C-alpha cells in the first residue's frame, strides 16, 4: 500500500516518520528508505537538510541555504549532487528489493518541476509491490500531479498531518 503523507511546512511530517520508524524497529521490522530531517542554525532558523538512510543511519548532506554545495539550486537552497546520487542509489535498491516498510521524504517542486533530486527513482514507484508499505511525503500542492504521473492505477491513501493530529501517529 502506498501512503502519501502531506501537511504544511514545519508541521512535523519528518519528525512523525522518525517516531514511526522507531516504533517499527521496536516491533522487529527493518524499515528502509530516505528521510530528510532539517538542519537548523544556532538561532533556530532552517538552513538545510540532510538525507538519512533509515536502515543504516548514514547521513548525506543534501541541501543548504547557508553555503554553496556546487550543484543545482532552487529557491534559497543549493544542493549536493553527490548526496542525491547516493540517496537515489539507496532508494533504487530498497524500492526494488527492500524491506516491508519503505520511506521517501520528500517529493517536491525540485523533483516534479525541475526533474532533479529524487526524480530519477520516481518511475520505480509504479512497479512497487503492493504487499509492501511505501510511505511517501509529498507537498500538498503536488499530490494530484504526482498521482496522475506515477500512481494513477495504484491503490493509495493520503494522510494529512496537522498540529492537531501530529502526535497520534500514522494509522
CATH of the domain at 14: 3.40.50.300
Determine, yes or no, domain membership for 85. yes
Q: How many domains does the chain have?
A: 1
pLDDT at position 171 is: 60
Q: What is the dihedral of CA 161, 56, 51, 85, to 10 degrees?
A: -130
The pTM of this model reads 0.93
pLDDT at residue 148, as a whole number: 95
Flag whether 167 is in a domain: no
Does residue 53 lie within any of the structural domains?
Answer: yes
Buried b (16+ CB within 10 A) or exposed e, 78-113: bbbeebbebbbebbeebbeebbebbbbbbbbebbbe
Q: What is the full per-residue pLDDT of the chain (171 aa) written as tens digits?
A: 999 999 988 888 999 999 999 999 999 999 999 999 999 999 999 999 999 999 999 999 999 999 888 788 888 999 999 999 999 999 999 998 878 999 999 999 999 999 999 999 999 998 888 889 999 999 899 999 999 999 999 999 999 998 888 778 776
Domain that holds residue 32: 2-161
Q: What is the reported pLDDT for 43?
A: 95
* pLDDT (0 to 100) of residue 127: 85
Amino acid at each position: 500500500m502506498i501512503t502519501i503523507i502531506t501537511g504544511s511546512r514545519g508541521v512535523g511530517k519528518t519528525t512523525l516518520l522518525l517516531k514511526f520508524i522507531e516504533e517499527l524497529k521496536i516491533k522487529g521490522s527493518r524499515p528502509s528508505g530516505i528521510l530528510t530531517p532539517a538542519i537548523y542554525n544556532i538561532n533556530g532558523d532552517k538552513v538545510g537538510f540532510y538525507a538519512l538512510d533509515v536502515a543504516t543511519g548514514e547521513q548525506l548532506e543534501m541541501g543548504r541555504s547557508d553555503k554553496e554545495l556546487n550543484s543545482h539550486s532552487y529557491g534559497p537552497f543549493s544542493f549536493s549532487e553527490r548526496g542525491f546520487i547516493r540517496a537515489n542509489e539507496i532508494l533504487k535498491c530498497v524500492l526494488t528489493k527492500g524491506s516491508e516498510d519503505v520511506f521517501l521524504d520528500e517529493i517536491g517542486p525540485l523533483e516534479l518541476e525541475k526533474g532533479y533530486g529524487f526524480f530519477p527513482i520516481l518511475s520505480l514507484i509504479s512497479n512497487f509491490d503492493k504487499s509492501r508499505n511505501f510511505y511517501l511525503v509529498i507537498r500538498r500542492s503536488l499530490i494530484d500531479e504526482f498521482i496522475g504521473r506515477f500512481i494513477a492505477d495504484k491503490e493509495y491513501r493520503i494522510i494529512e498531518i496537522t498540529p492537531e493530529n501530529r502526535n497520534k501517529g500514522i494509522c
